[in-house]
Amino acid sequence: MNLQYLDLLAQKYESEEKVATEIINLEAILDLPKGTEHFVSDLHGEYQAFQHVLRNGSGNVKVKIMDLFQEELQESEINEFATLIYYPEEKLKMTKIHFSSKQELREWYIETIGRMLKLVSYAASKYTRSKLRKALPKQFVYIIEELLYKKDEFDNKKAYYEKMLDRIISLKQADKLIVGLAYTTQRLVVDHLHVVGDIYDRGPDPHLIMDTLINYHSVDIQWGNHDVLWAGAFAGSKVCLANIIRICARYNNLDIIEDVYGINLRPLLNLAEKYYDDHPAFRPKRVTDETLTEQEQLQITKIHQAIAIIQFKLESPIIKRRPCLNMEDRLLLEKVDYEKKEVTLHGNTYSVDSACFATVNPDNPAELLEEEQQVIDKLLFSIQHSEKLTRHMNFLMKKGSLYLRYNGNLLIHGCIPLDENGSMKEMEIEGKTYAGRELLDVFERYLRYAFAHPEETDDFATDMVWYLWTGENSSLFGKREMTTFERYFIKEKETHKERKNPYYYLREDENVCRSMLAEFDLDPEQGRIINGHTPVKEIDGEDPIKANGKMIVIDGGFSKAYQSTTGIAGYTLLYNSYGMQLVAHQLFNSKEEVLTKGTDVLSVKRLVNEELERKKVRETNIGARLLKEIESLNDLREHRYMK
């Protein structure tokens, strides 16, 4: 027993009563039902769709409303009420214009606030009062508690409550109260959120997702390859930086770089204007914005080429100085015959007639022009000095990890690299061989080191971050090679294919999944692997629940760009005290549609498993921590107060 620790503890609990009270509290919490975990993945900048899923708790809010009111309310009323919980400000505005008299509005307020209080109290029933208090809107804590805990057996307080509600309405506080209660409900239906990777890229608003997560009550992140690419850029990797700008150009998202994160793109634009023309392969993909003129599209097309070529040039020296990464196959600029305009890959020769190699020196293809060097250096300087990006990246690192063991499950964005036999694939790094969990741990150590040393741009750790984005043994990429060059410049489609790691077919096998759980010291009987990264093609009948339920893949494609291949708008997972449920979301168009049509974009639920007995906090990660705390408090009690 650590006596110093007990001394410290004694400062906080300075009387026997205080120790006893805390022990009683903690023990009571252990017997509460486990809180609801909510899993989402591959958000890819789709803030609106993410907001919707968050606000309706993947359908959980509706379930609670149905439990309480399905006898009393019609379906349309239930939908109206649910919409009020999801988007209280907007829905209030829309509802209020329909009332013709003050009296009508007053009645609606009283009825609605009454229902909301019932809902809050139901949603909070498995939490302690102190947890509920933290979830309440600050300015109304006292009033709501009075209203929530009213026990009016003797009819003494009726007038008191009525008066309270009346005054709330007459003092014009009802709207604020309704908004507060709606957000409290949203917060209560989900205890903890897991984001299984890929917040960034393709969609327009990753920064808004980051802001939401920063303000969320309880969250962790398992990094996706796209998140690591952004972290890598911030950590000093110029090639990661070129990639994020290239992807932003490709998806018409350069305003994320310029307007949101405040990076000046002018030097890059000047370079682009000087050396590049129109090119069909580099036209921006997501042109929803009708205000984008032909001129602007052309500008983006040129920037896209300029930064792609910088990226390819920056890859070469890394591949050459790091033979252990085994990426010589990707020295593509070196493989081009600039006279014949051909490239030879894996023994086959293809035309690269359409390629834009104006800045490439055939004798030294990886050499950056002076201007290119300046552009990338300036970009790196601004990105590392962006206040907002600093905040977002620090949060990403603080709340994130490559994988997470949580309540018996393994959460991981991409894969655990395997060989064809299902064994953990080995990789030699700096003279040592790693595989499985150790490999992932060493990857994470490099990323954290690179992040802590942003001034080092060419060291091994920084190069490893790029490897995490694109390397064969990366647990985030999970494919043999990234065929970006081929997809821009070679017509033959067979060169575009990215071969997946054997993990992606072996994960269908229950025994393989069991051995992966064991590799991470998790119980193969109880645990499951929760994966993102590869869109589940529901359209083709692919099942997100694999390996007899040991593997659940929740990338259903929030990303609009991928919805035509998946056929849905993403999966999410809920894990409450009764078990796990997978939710398939139908296409989400806009919050306006939800508000005007009153219908939720209905989500289809499938049971993954049912707990035989309702799971309690005692059996969770938090429970284990509380048990330790109780043990220390018992020690303190014995040592300090029992003598």
Ligand X SMILES: O=P(O)(O)OC[C@H]1O[C@](O)(COP(=O)(O)O)[C@@H](O)[C@@H]1O
User: Residues 216-255: x/- map of binding to Mn ion (CB under 5 A)?
Assistant: --------xx------------------------------
Residue 479 binds which one of ligand X, Mn ion, none, with CB within 5 to 8 A depending on kind? Answer: ligand X
What single DSSP character describes residue 639? I
List Cβ neighbours of 535 (8 Å cut-off, separation of 6 or more): 42, 555, 556, 557, 559, 562, 565, 566
Total interface residues for Mn ion by CB under 5 A? 4
Sheet holding 348-351, edge to edge: 336-337, 342-345, 348-351
Q: Does 225 bind ligand X (CB under 6 A)?
A: yes
Q: Which stretch binds ligand X (CB under 6 A): 336-344, 420-428, 479-487, 617-625?
A: 479-487
Let me know if 88 is exposed, middle or buried by CB neighbors in 10 A (0-12, 13-18, 19+): buried
For Mn ion, the binding residues in 513-572 under the rule CB under 5 A are: 533
498 binds ligand X (CB under 6 A): yes
Number of residues that bind ligand X (CB under 6 A): 9
First vs last Cα of the chain: how many Å apart? 17
Q: Which is nearer to ligand X, 322 or 560 (CB)?
A: 560
45 and 52 in contact (C-beta within 8 Å)? no
Instruction: Identify which of residues 198 and 481 has a Cβ nearer to Mn ion in the complex.
Output: 198
CB of 75 to Mn ion, least distance (A): 38
Task: Give the nearest distance from C-beta 561 to ligand X in angstroms.
Answer: 6
498 contact choice in Mn ion, ligand X, none (CB below 5 to 8 Å, kind-dependent): ligand X
115 binds, among ligand X, Mn ion, none (CB under 5 to 8 A by kind): none
Q: List the x/- string, 179-218, binding to Mn ion by CB under 5 A.
A: -------------------x--------------------
Is 194 a binding residue for ligand X by CB under 6 A? The answer is no
Residue 227 touching ligand X (CB under 6 A)? no
Contact by Cβ (8 Å): 573, 562: no
Least distance in Å: CB of 201 to Mn ion?
A: 9
Q: Would you tell me how many other CB atoms lie within 10 Å of the CB of residue 206?
A: 26
* Of 322 and 533, CB closest to Mn ion: 533
Q: Identify the three-state secondary structure at position 26.
A: helix
Which residues does 591 contact at the CB level (< 8 Å), separation at least 6? 48, 51, 52, 87, 90
Residues in the chain: 643
CB of 201 to ligand X, least distance (A): 7
Q: How far is the CB of 413 from ligand X (least distance, A)?
A: 8
Is 311 one of the binding residues for ligand X (CB under 6 A)? no
Compute how many other C-beta atoms are within 10 angstroms of the C-beta atom of residue 340.
11
Residue 477, both tokens: 């990429």
Phi, psi of 214 (to 5 degrees): -60, -35
With CB under 5 to 8 Å by kind, the binding choice for 141 among Mn ion, ligand X, none is none
DSSP string, 282-328: GS-S----TT--HHHHHHHHHHHHHHHHHHHHHHHHHHHH-GGG--G
Q: φ and ψ at 571, to 5 degrees? A: -110, 150
Interacting stretch for ligand X, rule CB under 6 A, among 15-23, 352-360, 437-445, 478-486? 478-486
Interacting residues toward Mn ion by CB under 5 A:
198, 224-225, 533
Interaction site with ligand X (CB under 6 A)? 198, 225-226, 250, 479, 482, 484, 498, 533
